[in-house]
Structure 1
Amino acid sequence: MLKHRFGWIALVAAIAMLVYWGTVAMTPRALMHLVMGRLEQNAPVNAMGHAPLSTAERRVIVRPSPDLAYSTCLFDLTDAPLEIVIEPIGSPYWSLSVFDAATNVAFVRNDREANGQPVRIALVGEGQSVPDAIETVRVSSNRGLAVLRILVPERGSFDAIDIDRRNARCAPLN
């Protein structure tokens, strides 16, 4: 009788472990797929999209910060590496983050680290290469998301900051 119960307990434990592992492994990719689908309305793949400031009525993602301007680049490196260029922005703070398809951070740079200089990086997938003159960021998946966050200290300063952020670009590297 005890052997019979132990068998059922072992089976239930094995199923629970598989479900747990599947959830932990798949949740980040599922969430990124959902976010990327929502952000596709902002701009096409491999192009920078500039969203208006978030309000309670207009939110593409859950709980965006109302004092940040967001620009995004959904990328697909299947055909070619991608170049991202961020020119200096007249804001007290900005940062660029690159995430792979499983939400892993591949790159982060902010205005302080950039020292007033443009940030120019090449996102590179498996087997791709770029000239040595450009900073290379290897991404573990061909698809992902680059997010530029810019602090807007007062709503009245948004127009000037928006002009600067529209110089940010994201395009296939030729």
Structure 2
Amino acid sequence: MIRRIAPLAVVAVVALGSYYGTLAAAPYGLMRLAEAKLTKTAPVNHFTHTPPVRAERQFVVRPSPDLLYSVCPYDLTAGPLEVTAVPVPGRYSSISVFDARTDNAFVRNDEEMAGKPMRVVLALEGQAVPAGVETVRVRYATGIILQRVLLADPSEAAAVDPIREKAQCRTLAG
């Protein structure tokens, strides 16, 4: 009886280990793929403001065609990152920070901005940040920041771009 159960127990342990290992590793692997793809066209620690989505220009899997996307792949190894954005009047917009594990570490939308510019600093634990600035502590040095702006019609993109392009990511010196 034990001779029959022992191989089944080994298979069960290996299967469970593989399952949980995949669950633990998949978010990191997916984010690494996304970061690698994005950094081919978007410099690290800088926003790249993309034109409206079309089938041949999809940097996000299944993006929404009624949203304008800006992306900032980030790396905090050189220091904290200042993220600024201005809400687009009369439009839904948001800034989201995703860490290396794909966790949403921060989000702010136009209603929360209440028409005022947003300024936050992303930092790892232990990194010095300027006094009085809203700080978001993240657990991993790399990730992706997305800005999204809702359009009623794709033709509105040209009018929205000057405001959207005010969003910036920049490494803080020293």
Taking structure 1 as the reference length, the TM-score comes to 0.96
Once the two structures are superposed, residues 59-87 of structure 1 have per-residue CA deviations (whole angstroms, 9 ceiling, x without a partner) of 12211100000001111001100000002
CA shift at 1:91, angstroms?
Answer: 4.6
Q: Which amino acid aligns with 1:66?
A: P
**2:28–2:100 CA contact under 8 A, matched in 1:** yes
Which AA in structure 1 matches 2:31?
A: M
AA aligned to 2:148 is R
For 1:87, the equivalent position in structure 2 comes to 86
Question: Aligned equivalents of 2:98 and 2:25: distance in 1?
Answer: 16
Moved more, 11-20 or 34-43: 34-43
Q: Deviations over 1:80-139 (max 9, x none)?
A: 000000023235100111011000111010000110011100000131021222100001
- Is the contact made by 1:69 and 1:150 (CA closer than 8 Å) also made in structure 2? yes
Matched residue pairs, number? 173
Whole-angstrom CA distance in 1 between matches of 2:73 and 2:11: 41
The residue aligned with 1:98 is: 97
SS at structure 1 position matched to 2:33: helix
Greater Cα offset, 64-73 or 84-93: 84-93
Gaps of 5+ in 2: none
Instruction: Tell me the equivalent position of 2:12.
Output: 13
Where structure 1 has 5 or more consecutive residues not aligned to the other structure, the ranges are none
* TM-score (norm: length of structure 2): 0.96
% identical equivalent positions: 45
Q: Give RMSD over aligned pairs.
A: 1.0
Q: Distance in 2 between matches of 1:169 and 1:61?
A: 20
- Write the distance in 2 (CA, Å) between the matches of 1:171 and 1:97: 16
The answer on whether the counterparts of 1:91 and 1:150 sit within 8 Å (CA) in structure 2 is no
Query: Match for residue 113 of structure 1?
Result: 112
What stretches of structure 1 move > 3 A for 4+ residues in a row?
none
Moved more, 53-62 or 25-34: 53-62
Write the distance in 2 (CA, Å) between the matches of 1:143 and 1:59: 22
> Which residue of 2 is the match for residue 25 of structure 1?
24
Aligned: 1:55 with 2:54: yes
Tell me, in whole angstroms, the C-alpha distance in 1 between the residues paired with 2:90 and 2:24.
Answer: 38
Structure 1 equivalent of residue 147 of structure 2: 148
Which one-letter code corresponds to 1:173 in the other structure?
Answer: L
SS of match in other structure, 1:78: helix
Q: Give the secondary-structure state (helix, strand or coil) at the position aligned to 1:44.
A: coil
Residue number in structure 1 paired with 2:76: 77
Partner of 1:161: 160
Task: Output the CA distance in 2 between the equivalents of 1:60 and 1:46.
Answer: 17
What is the identity, as a one-letter code, of the residue corresponding to 1:156?
Answer: S
Deviates more, 1:84-93 or 1:105-114: 84-93
Q: Distance in 2 between matches of 1:16 and 1:55?
A: 41
